């Protein structure tokens, strides 16, 4: 069953456009009709409309499949990546070497199939401690600075200067919905503060600190704080291992540095209040995950903490690895 809202047909197009602009329309399902209303699939409840559950059909093929509008020489079409990243009005795609001579055509096809794209960059992957991307313009105009809409929030960012992952929108919403009134929240690896922004919008924390090594992260986080009226957000530039011990102890700590987040767990548990939760993300071989969970329990005990762990597989990372979401509760 899919969550949706019933909208009179005459208002359908304007509401659909608004939900799409605000990042609230669930584009993985098809819109359907019921009597004189349209059923619009949604990611979160929409003010002014009752949420209903219906059995909607999934989209048959990815929205804006650019491969169908691109004519490449024989055999090369099979090398085209199925998916690409979109942040705001910027598309980013990893182009295989064999397709280098067709970069402009690929970028233009992506823009043709996805009318909301202003420009397309080739992306050679996320690199270094700051997790930023090496981008080269393939089609369209302007820089990679953009505004990404997520559940009605406006996230100002630039993937060439600071990390931002639009695919974590659901996770941010899950965590924001757990935050109780007056909590002290700390994101140790905050980027442009998407977790902090959603927490301030959907909950009522006392304060949400958002720490990042990258000064560009603080610059964008301040813009995001002002644009989203997230007054409780406090962005801080610095190394989390140095900054976290200087802040008040927290009720909730977020650690999204999935290659090495577990190394910071002892520090996070020291800075966490009893009854609080660390939300961490970890990329690991699937067969090694149970051992990691045991080691985390043992490490906490060595440091004098008792913890309970809840986990789920967030997404597949490679044929043998996954990204896990791990909620660590301190007793």
Site size toward ligand SAM (CB under 6 A) is 23
Nearer to ligand SAM, 3 or 214 (CB): 214
Measured in whole angstroms, how far is the alpha carbon of residue 259 from the centre of its chain? 16
CA separation for the pair 323, 303 (Å, rounded): 26
The yes or no reply on residue 225 touching ligand SAM (CB under 6 A) is: no
Nearer to ligand SAM, 190 or 235 (CB): 190
Taking the complex as a whole, the smallest distance from the CB of residue 182 to ligand SAM amounts, in Å, to 23
Nearer to ligand SAM, 84 or 164 (CB): 164
- What's the Cα-to-Cα distance from 122 to each of 55, 130, 137, 138, 185, rounded to whole Å? 38, 19, 6, 6, 36
Burial (CB count <10 Å: 0-12, 13-18, 19+), residue 317: middle
Residue list 177-216, contact with ligand SAM (CB under 6 A): 187, 189-191, 194-195, 211-214
Nearer to ligand SAM, 85 or 105 (CB): 85
Nearer to ligand SAM, 139 or 240 (CB): 240
Task: Phi first, then psi: give them for residue 229, nearest 5 degrees.
Answer: 50, 45
Residue list 227-266, contact with ligand SAM (CB under 6 A): 239-241, 256-257
- What's the Cα-to-Cα distance from 301 to each of 99, 267, 284, 292, 330, rounded to whole Å? 53, 14, 22, 14, 11
H or E, element range at 328: strand 321-330
Taking the complex as a whole, the smallest distance from the CB of residue 171 to ligand SAM amounts, in Å, to 8
H or E, element range at 113: helix 103-113
Taking the complex as a whole, the smallest distance from the CB of residue 258 to ligand SAM amounts, in Å, to 7
**How many of the other CB atoms lie within 10 Å of CB of 114?**
17
- The residue with its CB nearest to ligand SAM is 191
Q: Out of 122, 165, 198, 224, point to the residue binding ligand SAM (CB under 6 A).
A: 165
Taking the complex as a whole, the smallest distance from the CB of residue 135 to ligand SAM amounts, in Å, to 16
Taking the complex as a whole, the smallest distance from the CB of residue 12 to ligand SAM amounts, in Å, to 33
- What is the number of helices (H) and of strands (E) in the chain? 8, 17
Structure tokens at 217: 């992260």
Nearer to ligand SAM, 70 or 240 (CB): 240
CA separation for the pair 212, 267 (Å, rounded): 16
DSSP 240-280: HHHHGGGSPPEEEEEE--TTTGGGGHHHHHHHEEEEEEEEE
Binding mask 108-147 for ligand SAM (x = CB under 6 A): ---------------------xxx----------------
- What's the Cα-to-Cα distance from 85 to each of 16, 123, 194, rounded to whole Å? 22, 9, 17
Taking the complex as a whole, the smallest distance from the CB of residue 278 to ligand SAM amounts, in Å, to 14
Nearer to ligand SAM, 45 or 170 (CB): 170
Contacts with ligand SAM by CB under 6 A lie at 129-131, 163-165, 168, 187, 189-191, 194-195, 211-214, 217, 239-241, 256-257
């Amino acid at each position: 069953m899919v969550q949706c809202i019933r909208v009179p047909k005459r208002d359908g197009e304007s509401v659909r456009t608004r939900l799409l602009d605000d990042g609230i329309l669930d584009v993985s399902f098809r819109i359907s009709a019921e009597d004189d209303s349209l059923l619009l699939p949604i990611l979160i409840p929409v003010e002014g409309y009752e949420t209903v559950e219906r059995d909607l059909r999934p989209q048959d093929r990815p929205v804006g499949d650019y491969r169908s509008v691109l004519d490449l020489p024989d055999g090369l079409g099979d090398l085209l990546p199925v998916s690409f990243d979109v942040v705001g009005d910027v598309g980013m795609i990893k182009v295989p070497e064999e397709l280098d001579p067709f970069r402009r055509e690929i970028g233009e096809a992506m823009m043709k199939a996805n009318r909301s794209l202003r420009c397309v960059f080739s992306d050679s992957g996320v690199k270094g401690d700051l997790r930023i991307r090496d981008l080269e313009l393939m089609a369209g105009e302007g820089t990679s600075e953009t505004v990404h809409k997520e559940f009605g929030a406006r996230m100002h960012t630039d993937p060439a200067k600071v990390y931002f992952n639009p695919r974590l929108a659901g996770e941010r919403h899950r965590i924001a919905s757990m935050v109780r009134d007056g909590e002290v929240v700390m994101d140790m690896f905050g980027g442009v503060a998407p977790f902090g922004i959603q927490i301030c919008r959907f909950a009522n924390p006392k304060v949400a600190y958002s720490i990042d090594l990258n000064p560009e992260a603080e610059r964008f986080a301040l813009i995001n704080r002002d644009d989203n009226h997230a007054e409780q957000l406090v962005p801080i530039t610095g190394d989390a291992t140095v900054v976290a011990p200087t802040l008040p102890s927290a009720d909730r700590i977020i650690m999204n540095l999935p290659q090495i987040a577990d190394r910071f767990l002892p520090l996070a548990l020291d800075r966490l209040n009893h009854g609080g939760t660390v939300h961490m993300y970890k990329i690991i071989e699937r067969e090694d995950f149970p051992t990691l969970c045991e080691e985390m329990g043992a490490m906490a005990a060595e440091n004098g903490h008792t913890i309970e762990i809840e986990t789920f597989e967030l997404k597949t990372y490679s044929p043998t690895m996954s990204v896990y979401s791990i909620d660590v509760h301190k007793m």
